[in-house]
Chain A
Amino acid sequence: MKVAVLSFAHERAETYVRLLRDMPGVDLVTADPDGAAGDPVRGRAMAERLGVSYVDSWDEVFASGVEGVVVTSEVDRRRELVDLAGEAEAFVLCEQPLATKEADVKAMVDACDIGGVRLTVASPACFSGAFAAVRQGIADGVVGTLTTVHGSYHSTPSGRGEVDGGALASNAPFLLDLVDAVLDGEPAEQVYAQTNNVLSGHPGVESAALVTVRYSSGMVAAIDCGWSLSPPNGPAVTFVGDRASVEYDASPRLLGGYDAATGTARWEPGGADPYAVMLKDFVSAVDNGQWTGPDGAAGLRTLRIIQAAYESAQTGQPVDIG
């Protein structure tokens, strides 16, 4: 099966390339025509370092008969690539966020619909077996009626705050997609959010974000998705029902102890490697049309919540989503 990774712009592109390169039955091709010439982590230089095949243009990729593409370009180039994939009838796994404007996401969803292929959002925690079990358990009523979800996901400051943008847009989707999956796409009705820039130090780059969402059934989700100086962990989400509650942690502790070399506590994360699980799922979706994980419509619902959250953070009042 021919699969392509489109662009090395996103920090996760390398992870995806390595995983796909080592996957049996996958014929991987890469392209990164937008990378600056001479940049060692872009373009042909990067592909050679990773030992994967490389072509010089998007056209060449799509002319080669790819069946699935992973879109890891700059955010503002994602729509163009997804449109091309739709035309080429190639399944798409696209990094978060799909786009920053609702109209672009809609167009991406349409392009894939017309092409008869699925647009899947790269929200790794949604693909794990543990999360599938939680989702099934909630559907089976183990918590009773689900009333409230609260969860957190933190990224560490990259030092490129102004380039990467704020925590709300980049981190909230990882939590909102989990909620969306459990609620089976129930639309949000009202969003309240507050942000600050204590950790970023840049006005306009929010490094803390608390978001509260009320869905149409009255279900409430409260999330914390800011930066943190703690090592990256999560997402960790608690699903509260009127009979019981369930906690899901995508990166629990596997081993503890002490590391004399660094003089710090040892923390070995457990759980499945979410990126490996997600890519395996994507490849089998290309193969047999069976998929899990959020689709383009879910990406659109998440984007609407995030846009409302930015508006709320600015006005200091809840924002209704029509």
Chain B
Amino acid sequence: MRQLEVALIGAGLIARLHLDAWIGAGAAVRVYSDDGRAADMAREFGARAVDSLAEALDGANVVDICTPTDSHHEIAMAAIAAGVGVVCEKPLAATAEEAEEIVAAAARAGVRLYPAHDVRFAPPYARLHELVATGGIGEGAVGRFFFSAYHPRPWTGHKSARSGGILTDQMLHGVDLAYWIFGDVVRVHAYYQGEIATPAPEGAVATGTAVLTHASGALSQVISRWTATPKPPVRVSFHVSGTGGTVSYDSEWPQEVRIADGEAGNFGYAGESVFVTEMREFAQAFAGGPEPRLGARDALAAVRITQAAAESAWTGRAVELSVKGAA
């Protein structure tokens, strides 16, 4: 089988993680970034840097968009026009309208479109989904989804609070999981607090608090936080309840390997990186294998729900979503 040719756009932290994962999945990668950082990153991973988006797309099977959100639409539309498959870092686009355009264009062109919602590839969430989908909790009643993390670098850009801050950024993870587990969302309410507008400094502190009402009648509470310190750097947990019992998870529970005491530097073991699992699944799909666990519909739903959360926090009203087509 011919090696998958991936055009990776961007050279930030996410681009590095994706690049490593693509190489692990056996892809050949060319990197383009308009910030001059592509060459160094490409050299480090044994990839190839190119000088323009057009050059990157030329002959590529897949574009992987790891640039700031505002540029996703333009790059995705260029790739779709060139018949190149699309992987896009979340969120797919800065607005629901842009996301809808991308999804519609990809469908018309017959181009595969996969959003990089990496947490769906984390074992506890994958298992939760499997349990719920196979009736393990009976009829779903309520889910609570918590994400907190330290923001390791300054938050760039110039966005007002109206654009949603943490609600359209980190909260997408929790929203995506709630949608994956309980399906379509018809009503969204959210509050946000703390550093909502950008730019914001490293270690910016913010909280988003959302309630989602699903078409099935199930309810989700999603709480998303940027924490004041990197202790711990990331914490995720959930609790899901239904007529057949409950399921819960907390990343603070001991796993296969943990530091029992003392300072052990960066030593640790977390199993296979979610990005490796994710890019391997995408690569197999682009090579004609089975469809991955998420696609264009999920990308659009996540954008629509998080945009509704932003609108709710800004207006102080709950926002109704129509089930048709998306959320």
Contacts and interface: CB of A to CB of B under 8 A. Distances in A.
A150 B209 contact: yes
Contacts, number: 103
Given A152-B144, A224-B144, A242-B205, A210 B221 contact: yes
B316 interface: yes
B142 A210 contact: yes
A218 interface: yes
Contacts of A150: 146, 209, 221, 223
B217 A244 contact: no
Contact of A220 (B205, B209, B217, B219): B209
Contact of A196 (B194, B219, B245): B219
Interface string B24-41: 000000000000000000
Interface string A184-224: 00000010101110110000000110101010001010101
B22 interface: no
B245 A229 contact: yes
A127 to B, nearest CB: 26
Interface stretch (B106-114, B155-163, B236-244, B294-302): B236-244
A196 B241 CA distance: 12
Interface string A290-322: 000000000000000000000000001110000
Interface string B129-152: 000000000011110101000000
Given A229-B241, A241-B228, A242-B205, 15 more contacts: A148-B193, A148-B209, A150-B221, A192-B318, A194-B213, A199-B243, A208-B141, A208-B219, A212-B211, A220-B191, A222-B211, A222-B221, A242-B194, A244-B228, A316-B320
24 contacts: A148-B223, A148-B225, A154-B241, A194-B189, A194-B211, A194-B213, A195-B219, A196-B141, A196-B218, A199-B241, A207-B141, A208-B142, A208-B241, A210-B211, A210-B219, A212-B209, A218-B193, A226-B241, A229-B241, A229-B245, A240-B207, A243-B229, A245-B227, A316-B187
Interface of B: 139-142, 144, 146, 187, 189, 191, 193-194, 205, 207, 209, 211, 213, 217-221, 223, 225, 227-229, 239, 241-246, 316-318, 320
The 9 closest A-B pairs by CB, nearest first: A198-B141, A208-B142, A230-B246, A148-B207, A222-B209, A196-B217, A208-B141, A192-B189, A242-B205
